Amino acid sequence: MPPQHDGAAVLEVRDLEVAAGGRVVQRGIGFDLARGEILVVVGGSGSGKSTLLRHLVGLEIPEAGSVRMHGLDLHHGDPEALAALRRRFGVMFQAGALWSSMTLGENLMLPMRLFSTLDAATRERRARERLAMVGLEDGFDLLPAALSGGMRKRAALARALALDPELLFLDEPGSGLDPINAARLDELVLSLRRDLGVTVLMVTHEIAGIFNVADRMLFLDGARATMTALGPPSDLLASGPDEVRRFLRRGADSGVAA
Ligand SMILES: Nc1ncnc2c1ncn2[C@@H]1O[C@H](COP(=O)(O)OP(=O)(O)O)[C@@H](O)[C@H]1O
Ligand SMILES: [Mg+2]
């Protein structure tokens, strides 16, 4: 399947090798992410999806290979340029990781206070607006402990949107959500791309939304410790490697991929 790079490459990953706990979990990872593209990363539990994501956002140094973001080497660049780069992407980690002693409003306003020049009134207005985008319009004064798991996920997504990122990394944003809220989240991701031109790299283990959301899908094989497929999900369902077709068919068969 030829890659579909119809825009400028926001992210260029080359021959990346990543380790967790002293063990290489993936190697030979290579792909470009085009501006405005939605790429979904899938693979079995423990295949290294979250590990890959931590490397793609510069939190960990790869064993080998490179990641360029907006043309800059993410792991070996000039520290000032990297700090500027970090303001241009948002991340939502798998665990959500909201500050438990802060209200949702405070959680969202913190990155704005640290990394932007927005004044207090604008910070509050934007925090309320982002919470409303994820269906938490009444959540501004709530503490994370008062929320369900699904609401916490959405709050973490709202926080990832706080600085108007051009590029968004999401680690299993839909897990723990009921199907209705998972579908809503997919719609939100699509609207972010449509209305704001946001580029998205999203880890998921839920096949349900992949066909709706993903332009391309990257499949990580845990046993072989490398990627075994990259392409539009419908192409991979039709003619991908066996294990990838099996993976996608499970979603199609469960009747939720419509
Ligand atoms: N901090 C860590 N210490 C030791 N092993 C880890 C650590 N983080 C992840 N691993 C291991 O690395 C592998 C990949 O983990 P992870 O990237 O979390 O997989 P996934 O997100 O695909 O479920 C797993 O075998 C996991 O147990
Ligand atoms: Mg994970």
CB 169, CB 57: distance < 8 Å: yes
Atom 5, ligand 1: which residue's CA is nearest? 21
Ligand 1 atom with minimal separation from the 54 CA? 17
CB 193 less than 6 A from any atom of ligand 1: no
What is the reported pLDDT for 131? 95
CB 234, CB 251: distance < 8 Å: no
Which ligand is nearest to the Cα of residue 25, counting in written order? 1
Atom 24, ligand 1: which residue's CA is nearest? 46
Q: Model's pTM, two decimal places?
A: 0.90
- What does residue 239 show for φ and ψ, rounded to 5 degrees? -145, 25
127 CA to centre of ligand 2 in angstroms: 27
What is the reported pLDDT for 255? 47
CB 161, CB 127: distance < 8 Å: no
Helices 149-160, 179-196: inter-axial angle, 10-degree rounding:
10
CB 166, CB 199: distance < 8 Å: yes
What is the reported pLDDT for 216? 97
Atom 3, ligand 1: which residue's CA is nearest? 21
**Host H or E run for residue 13:** strand 9-20
Running DSSP on this structure, what letter comes out for residue 207?
-
Q: What is the pLDDT along the chain (258 residues), one digit of tens a residue?
A: 333 445 689 999 999 999 999 999 999 999 999 999 999 999 999 999 999 999 999 999 999 999 999 999 999 888 888 888 888 999 998 876 789 999 999 999 999 998 889 999 999 999 999 999 888 999 999 999 999 888 888 899 999 999 999 999 999 988 777 888 888 888 989 999 998 899 999 998 778 789 999 999 999 999 999 999 999 999 999 999 999 999 998 866 554 443
CB 144, CB 98: distance < 8 Å: yes
All structural domains of the chain, each given as residue ranges with its CATH number in brackets, are 1-88+166-258 (3.40.50.300), 97-164 (no CATH)
Residues 6 or more apart whose Cβ sits within 8 Å of residue 21 = none
62 CA to centre of ligand 1 in angstroms: 14
CB 208, CB 251: distance < 8 Å: yes
Pick from 186, 207, 222, 197: nearest CA to 255: 207
- Residue 18 falls in which region: left (phi positive, over 0), alpha (psi -120 to 50) or beta: beta
Cβ-based burial of 255 (10 A; exposed 0-12, middle 13-18, buried ≥19): exposed
